[in-house]
Amino acid sequence: MMTNSLSPELFRVIDANLNRLKEGIRVVEDILRYKDNNKALASQLKTLRHKATIDEYEELLEYRDSINDVLKSSTKSEQTRTDLKAIIAANCKRAQESSRVLEELFKLSNIHYSENFKSIRYELYNIEKKVILQ
């Protein structure tokens, strides 16, 4: 359970990063599942995606304000990918970075959540290496 040490603005940060984490994982998962038929890695990513959750879902939704996100426009680097490996790498990094943000913020209110996101991040590092170097 989260405590009052997190402000509404931090709920927005948590919500955005939780979404970004799951979205990044899903992109890689779907490429490995449907293009490569890699059941083992796709299953591992699916498990991680389901592990990337918190109980306070409705509380996060209450503070979501995606309409007023000051950086919702894509940057040039986000609009261009050279190949599938670049898509996979970008989404691995997106998921790892989001996991780190969640790990750090939950140090303020819920160490169990913090440790969960840390373990997700390290598992993502290992998956990234397997996928990129295969």
CA dihedral 63, 67, 68, 69 (to 10 degrees): 90
Q: pLDDT at position 78, please?
A: 63
> Tokens in use for 2?
């989260």
Report whether pLDDT(116) > 60.
Answer: yes
Is residue 98 very low, low, confident or very high in pLDDT (cuts 50, 70, 90)?
very high
- Is pLDDT of 73 > 80? no
pLDDT reading at 16 higher than 90:
yes
**Residue of 64 and 31 predicted with greater confidence:** 31
**What gap in Å lies between CA 108 and CA 114, rounded to an integer?**
9
DSSP symbols for 43-68: HHHHHHHHHS--S-HHHHHHH--GGG
Assessment of whether the complete model's pTM goes beyond 0.85: yes
Whole-angstrom distance, CA of residue 61 vs CA of residue 86: 31
Q: What is the pLDDT of residues 37-71, one digit of tens each?
A: 999 999 999 999 999 999 988 888 888 877 777 66
**Six-digit token string for 74:** 């894509």
As to burial, measured by CB atoms within 10 angstroms (0-12 exposed, 13-18 middle, 19+ buried), residue 34 is exposed
- pLDDT top residue among 79 and 110: 110
Q: If you ran DSSP here, which 8-state letter would residue 71 be given?
A: T
